[in-house]
């Protein structure tokens, strides 16, 4: 599943526009919830009121773990009907039973989708537990590998240069939330300079969506107390003011919440 499509491999191409539009609407709902706006069971209502319930359920998978940002970062209550809707999305768009191999042994997109599905399923289990039927997606293996040596090591490793690596980390930005942890997070903690370079490069190229995704990781590292080569707060504020679109706005707001009250 990419940021603009559901994970189902046989989804008709003509449905992609409907999926993307529904995901944009759901991102706005999540953004409102972070600001304390909206009622209960907002995501379930998004599905129930949709003219295309399949697209609305696909949107729950596209927004994924970020649908839980209001609960993680703003003390919102997760409604049982929302849990049921997310669980239903896993039934309609089932993830692979066996997680795909990480690149280069396997294709990148199924592996990225598996990580994002794991993040969604893990948070669903955290907030709904047995009501959701347990974790619905297994944890994949591996993490994006940086070609430069990690901090404290002198021997280079094979992998992606920092430009490609940072973009790949940005594709995994829904994992940049509290409570989630694993090899992708360890990769981020080992290379804050590469993340900072990647975010700066994306900003200079005016690729604001990529910059916002990478900034999520910088904000999470700051939240965890990791020393950073740049202050992500001005970057996030610039993205908030000059970026565009619901998905970018949600990424920027999540980053601001991670950075603390002085940036909100």
Per-residue pLDDT of the chain (264 residues; tens, 9 = 90+): 444 445 444 445 557 888 899 999 999 999 999 998 877 789 999 999 999 999 999 999 999 999 999 999 998 888 999 999 999 999 999 998 888 999 999 999 999 999 999 999 999 999 987 555 557 899 999 999 998 765 555 555 567 899 999 999 999 999 999 999 999 999 999 999 999 999 999 999 999 999 999 999 999 999 999 999 999 999 999 999 987 899 999 999 999 999 997 654
CA distance 192 to 198: 10
pLDDT (0 to 100) of residue 96 = 86
CA distance 263 to 218: 14
Collapsing DSSP to helix, strand or coil, 146 comes out as strand
CA distance 236 to 239: 5
Collapsing DSSP to helix, strand or coil, 180 comes out as coil
Q: Is 129 left (phi over 0), alpha (psi -120 to 50) or beta?
A: left
Q: What are the boundaries of each domain within the chain?
A: 1-138, 143-264
Give the burial string for 118-150 (b: 16+ CB within 10 Å, else e): bbbbbbbbbbbeeebeeebbeebebbbbbebeb
pLDDT (0 to 100) of residue 226 = 97
What is the chain's Cα-based Rg? 18
Alpha-carbon distances, residue 4 vs 8, 46, 58, 231 (angstroms)? 12, 18, 10, 29
Collapsing DSSP to helix, strand or coil, 76 comes out as coil
Residues 55, 79, 29, 4: is their CA dihedral positive or negative? negative
Burial class (CB in 10 A: 0-12, 13-18, 19+), 60: buried
pLDDT (0 to 100) of residue 128 = 87
| Neighbour count for residue 263 (Cβ, 10 Å) | 17
DSSP code for 164? H
């Amino acid at each position: 599943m990419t940021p603009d499509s559901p994970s189902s491999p046989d989804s008709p191409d003509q449905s992609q526009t409907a999926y993307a539009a529904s995901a944009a609407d759901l991102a706005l709902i999540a953004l409102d919830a972070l600001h304390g706006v909206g009622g209960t069971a907002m995501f379930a209502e998004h599905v129930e009121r949709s003219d295309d319930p399949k697209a609305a359920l696909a949107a729950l998978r596209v927004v994924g773990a970020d649908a839980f940002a209001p609960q993680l970062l703003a003390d919102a209550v997760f409604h049982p009907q929302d849990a049921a809707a997310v669980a239903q999305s896993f039934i309609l768009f089932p993830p692979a039973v066996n997680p795909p191999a990480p690149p280069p042994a396997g294709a990148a997109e199924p592996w990225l989708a598996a990580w994002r599905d794991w993040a969604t399923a893990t948070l669903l289990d955290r907030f709904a537990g047995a009501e959701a039927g347990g974790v619905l997606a297994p944890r994949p293996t591996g993490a994006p590998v940086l070609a430069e040596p990690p901090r404290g090591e002198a021997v280079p490793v094979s992998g992606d240069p920092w430009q490609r690596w940072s973009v790949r980390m940005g594709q995994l930005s829904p994992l940049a939330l509290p409570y989630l942890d694993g090899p992708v997070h360890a990769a981020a903690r080992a290379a804050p300079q590469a993340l900072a370079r990647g975010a700066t490069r994306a900003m200079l190229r005016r690729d604001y969506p990529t910059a916002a995704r990478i900034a999520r990781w910088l904000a999470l590292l700051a939240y965890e107390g990791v020393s950073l080569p740049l202050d992500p707060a001005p970057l996030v504020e610039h993205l908030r003011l000059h970026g565009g679109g619901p998905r970018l706005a949600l990424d920027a707001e999540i980053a601001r919440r991670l950075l603390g009250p002085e940036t909100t």
